Amino acid sequence: MSAEAILVEGVSKRFRVVTIPKQMTLKEAVVSLRLIRPSEKRERFVNAINDVSFAVARGTTLGVIGRNGSGKTTLMRLLAGIYTPDSGSIRIPGEIAPLLSLGVGFHPDMTGRENVKINGLVLGMNPRQIEARFDEIVEFAGLREFIDIPVRTYSSGMHMRLTFAVAVSVDPDVLLLDEVLAVGDEAFMIVTGGASAGDFLRLLGNGREFGLKHLHYTYQEGEGGIAEALKLCEHFAEEERIVVMLGDNIVQDDITPYVRKFENQNSGARVLLKEVPNPERFGVAELDGDRIVRIEEKPARPKSSFAVTGIYMYDRRVFDLCRTLQPSARGELEITDVNNQYISQGDLYYDVLDGGWSDAGEFESLFRASELVRAASRL
């Protein structure tokens, strides 16, 4: 067996681009008694891939990075056999599973179950293999409760997970991915309110300066509470899980490991706790072993020293729970009430932050947050 899973030698691919000086309809051509003559057509050739050579060893991963129009997708399509090279050769001795565009091979009006079976056949599995791997595919995609509804009702993230789950179930020798897994990544919703809302837009703009692909804004009228602000994000969430971070929270840790744990839990919510010297300022978690039994908002006599930080992770049920809330004594929809509903359902989990954390709700905490930022800038 060859040591290379992919061997590309001197591959080039170019495309013909035809330019017609004056566009006209057939009616215009007939009326003017003038048709476009071949001599009036101008053509040029664009080199998408030019003399590319590389090898990928078995059991390794190769990422291709480049600007828009640099030929990344053309290369993927050449490897998948969709295009043929103008010169050079491509040798891939094993099975290929190309995942180059979201939803290719999926019919929007068919259910997830039906699409899994059809797409499995397209990728080379027989009906017996599909049946044997079906439960594994659905569990991997996390779509058990949605598998029998039409795919057109899925969000882009749900669609991506199911497509990917089917592709990897084939157990290919080579898996080709062309940005399809970027669906839903780096999408942020900023909820603002009050007279300073425009400051966020001036600071963040469209998010490109900060490496964000998709940055959305919405405005909260009045002071209805965090849970009311969260309700404004329902359309943005598209039935997906969502991570909420209050704007005045400064965190020293990378929260990615905690988010990954949330993604791997079957359902529910996840919060991050931090042990603090003044828990009465915050929502406080009452703990019983490894469980949170209740969260109390700014208690006079805290039952623990663990504050609930302003970082919350929720499954799609959170918006249904928000709709059941009643305003608190201060006239707001409290996020603590949402978290306590998850607790009552036995579906709230937590992690404890190791590094520094502060909010900026008071002058003292604002100073502490500034110190955290300054310390981080020195690293």
Which tens digit of pLDDT belongs to each residue from 121-159?
A: 887 788 999 999 999 999 888 888 889 998 887 766 677
For residue 17, what pLDDT is reported?
Answer: 75
Percent of the chain with pLDDT over 90: 37
Which superfamily does 230-377 belong to?
A: Spore Coat Polysaccharide Biosynthesis Protein SpsA; Chain A (3.90.550.10)
CATH topology of domain 99-182: Rossmann fold (3.40.50)
* pLDDT tops 50 at residue 64: yes
Whether 99-182 and 4-94 are alike in CATH topology: the answer is yes
Distance CA 285, CA 274 (A): 10
Which position has the higher pLDDT, 119 or 100?
Answer: 119
For residue 20, what pLDDT is reported?
Answer: 58
Cβ atoms 349, 236 nearer than 8 A: no
Domain ranges of the chain: 4-94, 99-182, 186-222, 230-377
In degrees, rounded to 5, the angle at the alpha carbon of residue 212 between the alpha carbons of residues 207 and 218 is 55
For residue 251, what pLDDT is reported?
Answer: 86
Q: Give start and end residues of each alpha helix (H) in the chain.
A: 26-31, 72-80, 112-122, 127-141, 156-169, 197-204, 226-231, 234-237, 256-264, 318-323, 335-344, 363-377
Which tens digit of pLDDT belongs to each residue from 341-371?
A: 999 999 999 999 988 888 877 777 777 767 7
Burial track 318-344 (b if 16+ CB lie within 10 A, e otherwise): bbebbeebeeeeeebbbbbbbbbbbbe
Is pTM, for the whole model, over 0.95? no
Side chain identity, residue 70:
S
Which tens digit of pLDDT belongs to each residue from 308-340?
A: 999 999 999 999 999 999 999 888 999 999 999
* pLDDT tops 60 at residue 37: no
How confident is the model over 275-293, as a mean pLDDT?
Answer: 92
Q: Give the pair of three-digit tokens for residue 202.
A: 């001036």
**Is the C-alpha dihedral spanning 314, 316, 320, 323 positive or negative?**
positive
CATH class of the region 4-94:
alpha beta
For residue 99, what pLDDT is reported?
Answer: 72
- Taking Cα atoms as reference points, which of 1, 44, 40 lies closest to residue 20? 40
Q: Give the pair of three-digit tokens for residue 346.
A: 């036995």
- C-alpha pair distances (Å), 178 with each of 68, 85, 141: 13, 18, 19
Reported confidence tier of residue 184, pLDDT bands at 50, 70, 90: very low
Burial class (CB in 10 A: 0-12, 13-18, 19+), 106: buried
Cβ atoms 298, 338 nearer than 8 A: no
Reported confidence tier of residue 180, pLDDT bands at 50, 70, 90: low
- C-alpha pair distances (Å), 89 with each of 22, 36, 45, 59: 39, 39, 21, 22
Task: Note the Cα 285 to chain centre separation in Å.
Answer: 30
